[in-house]
Homo-oligomer: A and B are copies of this chain.
Amino acid sequence: MRADAQRNRDRIVEVARELFRARGFDAVSMDEVAKGAGVGPGTLYRHFPTKESLYDAIIEAWSEKVNGAVDRALALEAPARVRLLAWLSDYAAMLTEHKGAAARITGALGDPGSPFAAKCQTYLGANQRLIEGMDSALRPGANAMQISRLVGGVAAVADNSELPADSVTAMLAVIADGLLASVNA
């Protein structure tokens, strides 16, 4: 890649990350990103053929964080409930870090054609590792996809309504206890 192209790409990602974080995916227009980065719309679309692909580039680094969070949760010397809740909280926090991300990523969980497909695989894999690491303390039937969707739902609602952290924690606690419940009916 030519030096000027690399420079422009970097500036676009930087500007877009800040704009998306502050105001959310939908509320920021591509023209705005282009103007903020000092390039024309054509240049922006040369680097990122769709708005979603730009978004994907922005959350690139997340995947790495995910596995770290699972490792931390599994390494805790604590009851299953605490370890589970630690992971769910980290997971939800990562999903709500960027406005609009939770709904978008959770919606892409079952769609191999999505631009986020690779990230979804990382997430699902992380949940799978957690399940295996917890040695069937979870209810029968609990699986990575289900957990991802449950937490994704909570995160999407939290993001959408800008809920305070303790509301989110309380909802995640309900889910954690539900996942740990021995089904009795």
- Interface positions of A (Cβ within 8 A of B): 79, 81-82, 103, 106-107, 109-111, 139, 141-142, 146, 149-150, 152-154, 156-157, 160-161, 163, 167, 170-171, 173-181, 183-185
Determine if A109 and B161 form an interchain contact, defined as CB atoms under 8 angstroms apart: yes
Q: How far is the CB of A149 from chain B (nearest CB, A)?
A: 5
**Known interface pairs A156-B157, A185-B81, A185-B82; A174-B178 also in contact (CB < 8 Å):** yes
Find chain B residues with CB under 8 A from A107 CB. Answer: 157, 160-161
For residue A11, give the distance in angstroms from its CB to the closest CB of chain B. Answer: 31
Number of copies: 2
* A177 with B170: CB separation less than 8 A: no
CA gap between A93 and B158 in the complex, in Å: 21
Supply 20 further A-B pairs (C-beta < 8 A) apart from A146-B170, A149-B171, A150-B171. A82-B185, A103-B160, A106-B160, A107-B160, A109-B161, A146-B174, A149-B161, A149-B163, A150-B153, A153-B153, A153-B157, A153-B171, A156-B156, A174-B175, A175-B175, A175-B178, A176-B178, A177-B177, A177-B183, A181-B181
What residue in chain B is nearest A106 (Cβ atoms)? B157
Contact of A150 among B149, B154, B183 (CB under 8 A): B154
Q: Which residues of B contact A171 (CB under 8 A)?
A: 146, 149-150, 153
Given contacts A109-B161, A154-B150, contact A181 B185 (CB under 8 A): no
